[in-house]
Amino acid sequence: MTVTTRFAPSPTGRLHVGNIRTALHNWMLARKAGGRFLLRIDDTDAERSREEYVDAIRADLAWLGLDPDGEERQSARLDRYETAFERLRAAGRVYRCYETAQELDLKRKVLLGRGLPPVYDRAALALTEDDHAAKATAGVAPHWRFKLDHDEPIAWDDGIRGAQKFDPAQLSDPVIRRADGSWLYMLPSAVDDLDMGVTDVLRGEDHVSNTAVQIQMFSALIAAGDGGAMPRFAHEALLVGSEGKLSKRLGSLGCDAFRERGIEPEALVALLARIGTSLPVEPIADRSVLVASVDLATFGRAPARFDEAELERINTAIVHQLDYAVVADRLPQGMDAAGWHAVQPNLATVGDAAEWWRLVTGPIAQPAFSDEDRAYLAEAARLLEWREDPWHALTAALKQATGRKGKALFLPLRQALTGMDHGPDMAELLPLIGEVEARARLERAAKG
């Protein structure tokens, strides 16, 4: 059986870092197994879904390099859900209900006040056909619930959490269809997983109780003739912020925010691939290394801590690994491979290259020099010869002529040539500045 995973976002907003992590892990599991990774747009909520978000989801996955092997949209499959619903209805597994949101909220409060779990009481099952007819005559449309089987416990071996067991009597029969005929998440998701041959469902631990309900839904659909096989399930720990608490900020961190900060997709992937696992988080730019190492057995149950400072450290290390060809179209005009190689060790982001390139193109602001240093720089301008390695030739000549060494030898030269006390290796930078401009800068600094 071909391993098939899926990422199923609702296009009601932009992807955030938690969504990205889920998508990444599903993509990695599929790639490791030589299987398929599907993108499913869960857009049954027509009121909140937006086409702009569908486009943004595709663009974000492309930026991250998470290429799906196929795409489906739930809005194109409404007839399929109708067929499955009618089969469940014929099998007696769905039933009509009429309680308002306020009535249900009151029931929950009463149960909680008695120290009982806030489970739906199945009052609608007592309604007769005459009762339903009266509701219809009054213009009251029903919403529909899936009827859980209370006879057997719901159990599965979770790929991360291990053995799981639920008493169905402690769960509410889930609403699967609204009074206006629109679908909630549960049924379409199960139908799609069966139809699309999804073998592995990996999602956040906040879906554990949903899985318990859906396992019965899968069984009912298969028994009703829908075919397919129930997937395996795994639930990963949710992300928390660096302060150790669930953070609203994590919900606002999306690809746009990362791009604006100069975060490379490779850095984000390297971090999200391994946080929350027993594997070390490292600046690994080679996706094949990350894919080969993914293993649900390494996933922990403790909350996975997302540290933005750690992401920035990884990003810096990734930037230092990037080849010129990968970044050439993002570099300032005129910067060639030699320029990239010169400034790369000083970069935190690729965008920083423009500021360092200014040291080559100018103009630069030189500091004020002492009389002694001005004389030294005048001598530097006189001794400058353009050889294969002009920097080391110049410093060797100056050391012999002036007796200077260490900081006194190098710092005034760097300040005169770049206007800074630190920066790229001068042996690489000086050839980029060029003989004419370098001599002009030395002479200008000597004159003060």
Residues of each annotated binding site: 248
Lateral strand order in the sheet of 175-177: 94-97, 143-146, 175-177
The CA distances from residue 381 to 114, 223, 280, 417, in Å, are: 90, 89, 51, 11
Q: What are phi and psi of 94, to 5 degrees?
A: -130, 150
Q: What is the DSSP letter of 222?
A: I
CA distance 376 to 390: 17
Q: Name the residue among 371, 382, 360, 383 with its Cα closest to residue 412.
A: 371
Binding site for ATP, residues?
248
- Whether the bond between 363 and the residue before it is cis, its omega within 30 degrees of 0, is yes
CA distance 30 to 202: 11
The CA distances from residue 330 to 65, 107, 335, 349, 354, in Å, are: 18, 59, 10, 11, 10
Q: Name the residue among 417, 446, 422 with its Cα closest to residue 434.
A: 417
Q: What are phi and psi of 174, to 5 degrees?
A: -75, 140
Helices 390-402 and 371-383, axial angle in degrees (round to 10): 130
Residues ≥6 apart with Cβ < 8 Å to 416: 366, 369, 377, 380, 441, 442, 444, 445, 446
Q: Name the residue among 162, 203, 281, 258 with its Cα closest to residue 21.
A: 203
CA distance 252 to 247: 10
